[in-house]
Structure 1
Amino acid sequence: MSSSPTLPHYVQGTIEELGTPLAEVTFVVVDLETTGGSPKDCAITEIGAVKVRGGAVLGEFQTLVDPGQEIPPYISVLTGITTAMVAAAPRIGTVLPAFLEFARGAVLVAHNAPFDLGFLKAACAQNGILWPAAASVDTAVLARRLLTRDEVPNCKLGTLAPFFRATTSPTHRALDDARATVDVLHGLFERLGPLGVSSLEELTGLTRQIDPERRRKRHLADTVPSGPGVYLFRGPRDEPLYVGTSTDLRTRVRSYFTAGEQRSRITEMVALASRVDAIPCAHALEAAVRELRLIAEHKPRYNRRSRFPERALWVRLTDEPFPRLSVVRRVRPGAGVFLGPFPDRRAADAAVAAVHESLPLRQCTARIPARAPAGSACALFDMGRCGAPCTGSQSVAEYADVAAVLRAAVACDPGALVAPLLDRVDRLAAEERYEDAAVLRDRIAVLLRAVRRRQRLESLAAVPELVLARPDGAGGWELSVVRRGRLVSAGVAPRGASVRATLAGLLGTAETLLGPDGEIAASVDETELVLRWMEKPGTRLVELDGTLASPAPGTGAFSRFLAMADGSGAGRDPFADGRSLGTRARPDRITAGVGAGGRPPLASPA
């Protein structure tokens, strides 16, 4: 008897069997250290990568890279990688083939993937190496999808690593950060089970999911022009919700309606938006300045930066016979000496404490007349921290010598003010009182930064008018007219056009400032934007009315100290110390009277 032919056996797969199971996917978690934030003018200094599959580590890759350029000091402070360390390292063209072989066939993972993958793609293009068409996962985007603000305040790697109890802490070194990202990735994968996400395809779909409501609002970007400028999202009652700036308005506004924008706060803002207004600007400086002014004027609830410039704090040396220090919010010309601005009260208090460490200024709040009545001194007099002008034991002239040290420090030279503080730091370190030395060092750094910032602001605010020009990259010039620190006119002289004719039109239509000469006409943030624009390579000073000069010697002599303070304080809060900001011991202080050479004498050591 013949047997019937065997029929093929078909089995319908389940939903779980579709796609590539995550347990079978090989991931290469990569992290880079670079000389800056843009692959256009910066380069890679270190690559670190970890290969994992099914929760197990299969291998690691790490190498320093010679970037072919000097590593900026602030990058060295952040990462610990110096130019000398990479001098003998291979160039990126030699490293890339080895890394791409290590990552062959794997899904690339990075925290803030556009940054790391952007540098790698740019390096491949510069060296004629084909970038493989590999899938990628961004743990920052995935964290925003899976975690709530109640769980973590933000989705930075330094926040997520301790939240998921990572075995390696992020240190701004490539391999350590890659290892920490592996633990974050596995912690996020544990959140995928309840959502029914078990395959690579479902994972990539989760990170690229677009809210249908957001997709329906893409038409709001239809009338937005290209080029630099400012954009305003407006709500249903025409109220400003969010103000932003971009060198390409149309591209930036359209990005709010794509999967690339994952910030929950911005997603909520887009859901409320009913209109987008665009303000074209001549160049990036004008756009940045207009953004600051609009945020300060409207205070949009979805903007966080510079919403309340009036909340900046200043340390004021009062204008009275026996002046004292106070923390205020307004700068009033002629009302004393002002130091700052400070970002918060802790910074202002730290600067005040540093001054009181050096100078025996009174700390009481009562107003003392020129002829103070005789009375009993407070405990600060017995501690050597005050000359007791309230008792009549210190004259107005003697007290003025002490206050003059602070006035000179703010105006031009902080050397006499800081010298006894630095001596005390050295003594504390020699006595192995390192915590006390670190606290005092950080207070000095806050004080010096405030002096430097104030001097920079005043140098520009004192100039009645100046004209700046920068190449626009197309053969033309970007022009800016600045009066007393405020941008009053901006324009572009295209290639072939007369720069002088364009400038004449800008000067004729420039904003006229009202108010006394010498008063800061712009906000602090605006003046600093202009300063940064001036200091960019390629910027030219076309015209100048007045004098543009920094005070001498200024804070230049303390640049090395500030760099050391930044490096020593990296990764910790300099104000986290719980001790009082007052002094507990009698330090070296500047006494009344001025010694030879104009330098105040120091009191004898405690």
Structure 2
Amino acid sequence: MSVPAEVRRLPNQPGVYRFRDAEARVLYIGRATQLRSRVASYWSDLRDRPRLRRMTPLISAVEAVVCDSVHEAAWLERNLLRRRKPRWNRARDGQESTVHIGLEEGPSNPGLKVLYSPGPGYFGPYLGGARARNAVSALHRIRPLAYTAARLTGAERDMAAARGVTAADRAALATSIRAILARDPAELATARADLIAARDRASSNLSFELAAEIHEELEALDWIVSPQRTATLEPTDLSAAGWSNGILVLFRVRAGRLDEWTQRPCPPERAKRYLTATPADWRDFATRNAELAASLQ
């Protein structure tokens, strides 16, 4: 089967795609690291995926949302499936667990913890417990806050000495970690550079297993700090709209989750009220996805 022309117009960026049949019913929702490559694969050899091979001839329209990261795409797919699972999707939630990261700054037990329930001051939410734990390991490697506790065991005191930290460094390390988790660009750049330097030192010392471990930690840190607006800890409700070439795209956020995405033909005069009500920090996201929707018509 040849790849439809609209699929070739998809960008090779992270995002979520949706297939509809001739009666505009949603067949399937999926996520992609590279939208064009992933969606085009449905028109390739699907002998190892007989279920999808049966679905592909039913596809009449392709829709997509470009996301700012793979993590954001994973959340959007999860939210949409939780709200309404199409016939050809098998799972409603995906395989990743929802976790949060808690930062303790007090002298008795400073450090980071991966938690499965949200709480005041926590960071997240994140998808993937293993990734979050690797990210915490990455931060401990470069910002060893746990070794600044008021009471340490003998082994912990030795590690603190080896890492060159004392209780006097507690506030500065906690501030740096907080800024990293809050996606501060300068702190993120420094953290990545520190991890890359640690990985390269391990590799130079022929400690290849350690180098691989640090590389996994670096990827995990990138995952949790990547741009992500489709799930937040704030119970926000809002609507965001974008319009392009006669197509209106609407996104609805309920209790901090973007879980509804619709698009339809709409004249500019009717689109104005939706566009006016769109929060400023959502306009770019909504507009570029309206432009994508119009290009796929």
Q: TM-score higher than 0.5 here?
A: yes
CA contact (8 A) 1:316 1:325 kept: yes
Given the two structures, how large is their TM-score scaled by the length of structure 2?
0.57
1:538 aligns with 2:279: no
Q: Does 2:250 correspond to 1:480?
A: yes
Question: How many angstroms apart in 2 are the aligned matches of 1:349 and 1:227?
Answer: 45
Question: In structure 1, how many angstroms separate the alpha carbons of the residues matched to 2:51 and 2:155?
Answer: 52
**Post-superposition offset of 1:481:** 4.5
Matches within 5 A, 1:28-43: 38=3, 40=5
Aligned twin of 2:160 = 384
CA shift at 1:419, angstroms?
Answer: 2.9
Query: Which residue in the other structure is 2:270 paired with?
Result: 501
Match of 1:328 in 2: 115
1:341 corresponds in structure 2 to: 126
CA 1:229/1:469 → structure 2, altered by over 3 Å: closer, same or farther? farther
Q: What is the CA distance between 1:421 and its match in structure 2?
A: 1.9
Contact persistence 1:405–1:417 (CA under 8 A): no
State the TM-score, normalized to the length of structure 1. 0.32
Quick check: which has more Rg, 1 or 2? 1
Tell me the distance in 2 between the aligned counterparts of 1:347 and 1:401: 25
Q: 1:228 to 1:291 in 2, by over 3 A?
A: farther
CA distance change for structure 1 residues 376 and 317 in 2, over 3 Å: closer, same or farther?
A: closer
Q: Look up the SS of the partner of 1:422 in the other structure.
A: helix
What pairs with 1:246-285 in structure 2 (closer than 5 Å)? Answer: none
Deviations 1:59-91 (A, max 9, x none): xxxxxxxxxxxx9699xxxxxxxxxxxxxxxxx
2:142 and 2:194 in contact (8 A); partners too: yes
Give per-residue Cα distances to partners, 1:133-178, cap 9 Å, x unaligned: xxxxxxxxxxxxxxxxxxxxxxxxxxxxxxxxxxxxxxxxxxxxxx
Partner of 1:492: 264
**What's the counterpart of residue 315 of structure 1?**
101
Distance in 2, Cα, partners of 1:505 & 1:533: 11
**Aligned match of 1:354:** 138
Q: Does the 8 Å contact 2:241/2:275 carry over to 1?
A: no
| 1:505–1:445 Cα change, 3 Å | closer
1:312 touches 1:329 (CA, 8 Å); kept in 2?
A: yes
- Residue matched to 1:444: 218
CA distance 1:386–1:301, shift in 2 (3 Å): farther
Match of 2:180 in 1: 409
Aligned partner of 1:417: which letter?
A
Secondary structure of the 1:404 match is helix
Q: For structure 1, list consecutive stretches of 5 or more residues without a partner in the other structure.
A: 1-36, 44-70, 75-223, 232-243, 247-259, 268-282, 511-526, 541-606
> SS at 1:480's partner residue?
strand
Q: Hey, which of these two has a bigger chunk of helix by percent?
A: 2
What's the Cα RMSD here? Answer: 5.4
- The structure 2 residue matched to 1:420, chosen from 194, 197, 201, is 194
Say if 1:317 and 1:323, in contact at 8 Å, map to a contact too: yes
Q: Distance in 2 between matches of 1:320 and 1:404?
A: 12
**How many angstroms does 1:290 deviate by?**
11
1: CA distance, partners of 2:25 / 2:161: 53
Cα distance, 1:499 vs structure 2 = 2.3
For residues 86 and 26 of structure 2, the distance between their equivalents in structure 1, rounded to whole angstroms, comes to: 14
**Given that residues 240 and 275 in structure 2 are in contact (C-alpha distance below 8 angstroms), is that contact kept between their aligned partners in structure 1?**
no
What SS does structure 2 have at the residue aligned with 1:478? strand
Distance 1:294 1:482 in 2: 11
1:461-476 equivalences in 2 (<5 Å): 466-471=240-245, 476=246
Matched residue SS, 1:316: strand
Aligned-residue offset at 1:447 = 0.8
Equivalent-residue separation in structure 2 for 1:499 and 1:306 (angstroms)? 36
Whole-Å Cα distance in 2 between the matches of residues 294 and 424 of structure 1? Answer: 39
In the alignment, residue 315 of structure 1 is paired with which amino acid?
I
Query: Which residue identity does 1:330 align to in structure 2?
Result: S
Provide closer, same or farther for how the CA distance between residues 339 and 295 of structure 1 changes in structure 2, counting only shifts above 3 A: closer
Q: Distance in 1 between matches of 2:12 and 2:89?
A: 31
Given the superposition, is the C-alpha separation of residues 309 and 501 from structure 1 closer, same or farther in structure 2, using an over 3 Å criterion? Answer: farther
The CA distance in 2 between the partners of 1:230 and 1:385, in whole Å, is: 59
Shift of residue 457, structure 1, vs aligned partner: 6.1
CA distance in 1, matches of 2:3, 2:201: 43
The answer to which structure, 1 or 2, has the higher relative contact order (CA under 8 A, 6+ apart) is 2
CA distance in 1, matches of 2:272, 2:289: 21
Aligned residue-pair number: 244
Identity %, equivalent residues: 20
Report the alpha carbon displacement of residue 446 of structure 1 after superposing the two structures with TM. 1.5
Contact 2:242/2:250, CA 8 A, preserved across alignment = yes
Segments of 5+ residues of structure 2 without an aligned counterpart are 15-19, 31-45, 54-62, 66-72
Deviation at 1:454, TM superposition (A): 4.5
Secondary structure of the residue aligned to 1:466 is strand
| Structure 1 residue 378: Cα displacement | 4.4
- Deviation of residue 533 (structure 1)? 6.8
The CA distance in 1 between the partners of 2:190 and 2:95, in whole Å, is 32
> Counterparts of 1:478 and 1:436 in 2: how far apart (Å)?
50
